[in-house]
């Protein structure tokens, strides 16, 4: 099943409601929120206040992608702001199973993201526990990068894990 989940990272936040309306009119299924902290990735984007504003502007599910260190400390705030999906980076959390459990205990769906240099195989033990797997096809933290072709192989590997 293919879903459209455009990111609001490049939105005009002074006009967020109208920008989100355009996403809805365009036929999106979800709204993707790229949260960056300036530590796990070099850029800083926005926090739970913008996610809350996005939730107030749309009925579409919010997919919050945490590209941050210490994600466990912020999950509750993003769920309270309206996130339906919380996606954490496998590389940024110490105890991935614990983080997935926490997300679900708070009532959200759990996602895991991996960077282009991270192998898929270690996820075999948690693939049944997650609702979403995000395979990064660029290095996280910057827009406008070229597609990393090895991501296609990772997608195939992930599909095999899912079907087992």
* pLDDT tens track for 62-115: 999 999 999 999 999 999 999 999 999 999 999 999 999 999 999 999 999 999
Q: Does residue 23 fall inside a structural domain?
A: yes
For residue 64, give the CATH number of its domain. 3.20.20.70
pLDDT tens readout for residues 124-143: 999 999 999 999 999 888 77
Q: Does residue 66 fall inside a structural domain?
A: yes
pLDDT reading at 164 higher than 70: no
- Supply the pLDDT for residue 161: 86
| Bridge partners for 14 per DSSP | none
Q: Does residue 32 fall inside a structural domain?
A: yes
Size (the chain), residues: 164
Q: Does residue 78 fall inside a structural domain?
A: yes
Q: Does residue 1 fall inside a structural domain?
A: no
- Supply the pLDDT for residue 119: 93
- Supply the pLDDT for residue 140: 85
Q: Does residue 55 fall inside a structural domain?
A: yes
**Which DSSP string corresponds to 11-39?**
S-GGGHHHHHHHHHHTT-S-EEEEEEBSS
Q: Does residue 7 fall inside a structural domain?
A: no
Tokens encoding 46: 């926005």
Cα–Cα distance, 134 to 158 (Å, whole number): 10
Q: How many domains does the chain have?
A: 1
- Output the average pLDDT for the chain: 94
**Which DSSP string corresponds to 44-95?**
B---HHHHHHHHHH-SSPEEEEEESSSGGGTHHHHHHHTEEEEEEEGGG-S-
Full-model pTM = 0.93
Q: Does residue 65 fall inside a structural domain?
A: yes
- Supply the pLDDT for residue 74: 98
Residue 110 backbone phi and psi in degrees, to 5: -100, 135
Residue 133's H or E segment, with its range, is strand 132-135
Q: How confident is the model at residue 145 (pLDDT cuts 50, 70, 90)?
A: confident
Domain of 97, in residue numbers: 13-163
């Amino acid at each position: 099943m293919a879903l459209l989940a455009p990111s609001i990272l490049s939105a005009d936040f002074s006009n967020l409601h109208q920008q989100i309306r355009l996403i809805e009119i365009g036929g999106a299924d979800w709204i993707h929120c790229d949260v960056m902290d300036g530590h796990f990735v070099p850029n800083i984007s926005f926090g739970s206040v913008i996610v809350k504003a996005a939730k107030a502007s749309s009925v579409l599910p919010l997919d919050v992608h945490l590209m941050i260190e210490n994600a466990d400390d912020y999950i509750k705030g993003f769920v309270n702001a309206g996130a339906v999906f919380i996606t954490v980076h496998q590389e940024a959390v110490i105890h991935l199973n614990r983080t997935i459990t926490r997300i679900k205990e708070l009532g959200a769906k759990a996602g895991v993201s991996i960077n282009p240099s991270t192998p898929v195989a270690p996820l075999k033990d948690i693939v049944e526990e997650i609702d979403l797997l995000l395979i990064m096809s660029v290095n996280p933290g910057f827009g406008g990068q070229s597609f990393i072709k090895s991501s296609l192989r990772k997608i195939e590997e992930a599909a095999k894990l899912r079907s087992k």
